[in-house]
Amino acid sequence: MKRKIAVLGGGISGYGSAILAKKKGFDVFLTDMGKIADRFKSRLDEWGVEYEEGGHTEERILDANEVVKSPGIPDTAPIVKKIIEKGIPVISEIEFAARYKGVAKTICITGSNGKTTTTSLIYKIMVDAGRKVSLGGNIGESFAYSIATDRYFWHVLELSSFQLDGCYKFKADIGVLMNITPDHLDRYDYKLENYARSKMRITQNQGSADYFIYSADDPTTQQMLTEMDLDLRARQLPFAINTAIASGDGDAILEGHTFTATVGKKSVTIDTRKMQIQGMHNVYNAMAAALATLSAGVDPKVIKRSIYDFSPVEHRLEPAGKLNDIEWINDSKATNVDSVWYALESMTRPTVWIAGGTDKGNDYTPLKEFARRKVKALICMGLDNEKLKREFAGIIPAIYDCNTFEAAMEAARDAATAGDTVLLSPACASFDLFKNYEHRGREFKEWVKANILTNNEE
């Protein structure tokens, strides 16, 4: 008799898990409380995966031998509580997919801030080095789908604390922890220690052949390394700007405008003034990426060239400008709730969120807790904003109804004050006001350049 697997959530991680389960011969059923994106449904249909949307058939879920849960669904969700009460194992896509990766190795990046840039940079370096590599986790393709459809020698994975919570036997061959700052505390009983312990799961199951890369400048990380009873057998590679460090296995240290990253007998020296990504936070990101790729055996010359060549990913959490301590971020590529979930997750400042467009039957429930904690104003940009306004009424303090691009941008400018981030992360298709998401992103960047940066520099 076939083992039964239920997949909760039909986003990127869910559809990939379902397809991998189908390929491996499981009796698989995918279920989503909201609407599943058409592109995911077409792939599920192609693989003959049974699925439902707009609700859960509980008896089928509770009949499963194992449940793969999408990271956006909390353990407090009623259906998850019932699964746990029945004693059915609940795991993440990462845990499930890793069972079938074979001899392939993983570079896994987690942290409260900087993980998307660091992950993207590591991926670029690996590609430039000619490695057969996939990009997954929070960005790129589903890890499970990559394993189901191709053979990679390396998987570069951006991992959230929620994904790590669902990992038990999974091991990062190269684990990177950028930092730990208060975030998602509602999912961790409002205790930083609980959230930090989830982040430290990046080290679990690592052995003496593996690497653990971390910030020696981050006080919470240092505290967890001191206080937790961790069986750290991996080779430790700290990176730092402000702390005097030394590790026999290697490290990365900034001196003046240059840093040198060393792993074993190999090292690379980077002049940070030659990097296209600026700011001290990006120095940390580049340090971590250099250590990770040196650990993976990449030639230092390739690492140096790739770091200098790297620029922010266009339309995906792409900085569009900063003035008077207000950041403008172009995340126009976020055309669904899943993508916006990751964007809002990464916000560390009060956020003016620009959303809207052609709604595809979105279920905004996964975004509401982030919106309550992080968003000070919602700028609805579309021809029909009623659903957005209705969904976030009483959650976001200020909501603006804008039927044109110009009106939305002016409202965002008026709503933002020093210390804020203005985030274009629409959750919707662009076809009501734009040709596509690229057009929308370019218009956003050009408006910021013309109306914010230029006008204020005069």
What sign has the CA pseudo-torsion 95, 74, 53, 5?
Answer: positive
Q: Look at the block and give the residue holding tokens 């009460």.
A: 85
Q: d(Cα 67, Cα 61) in Å, to the nearest integer?
A: 8
Q: d(Cα 218, Cα 238) in Å, to the nearest integer?
A: 10
Q: Which CATH architecture has domain 95-309?
A: 3-Layer(aba) Sandwich (3.40)
| Domain boundary assignment for the chain | 4-91, 95-309, 318-457
Q: How many CB atoms lie within 10 A of CB 53?
A: 18
Name the CATH superfamily, with its identifier, for domain 318-457. Mur ligase, C-terminal domain (3.90.190.20)
Contact present, 423 and 354 (Cβ < 8 Å): yes
Classify residue 279 as left (phi > 0), alpha (psi -120 to 50) or beta.
Answer: left
pLDDT given for residue 455 in this prediction: 55
Closest CA to 120 of 319, 336, 307: 307
Closest CA to 375 of 428, 416, 319, 413: 416
pLDDT given for residue 311 in this prediction: 86
pLDDT given for residue 457 in this prediction: 40
pLDDT given for residue 184 in this prediction: 58
Query: Which CATH fold topology does 4-91 show?
Result: Rossmann fold (3.40.50)
Q: d(Cα 38, Cα 30) in Å, to the nearest integer?
A: 15
pLDDT given for residue 47 in this prediction: 97
How many C-alpha atoms does 267 have within 13 Å on its Cβ side? 14
Output the tens digit of pLDDT for each of the chain's 458 residues. Answer: 789 999 999 989 999 999 999 999 999 999 999 889 888 999 999 999 999 999 999 999 999 999 999 988 888 899 999 999 999 999 999 999 999 999 999 999 999 778 888 999 999 999 999 999 999 998 889 999 999 999 999 999 999 888 998 999 999 999 999 988 765 566 777 778 788 888 899 999 999 999 999 999 999 899 988 888 777 899 999 999 988 787 789 999 999 999 999 999 999 999 999 998 877 878 999 999 999 999 999 999 999 999 999 987 788 788 899 989 999 999 998 887 877 887 887 788 999 999 998 886 778 988 999 999 999 999 999 988 999 999 999 999 999 999 999 999 999 999 999 999 999 999 887 777 888 888 999 999 999 999 987 654 43
- Interior/surface letters 207-229, b for 16+ CB within 10 angstroms, e for the rest: eeebbbbbbbbbebbbebbeeee
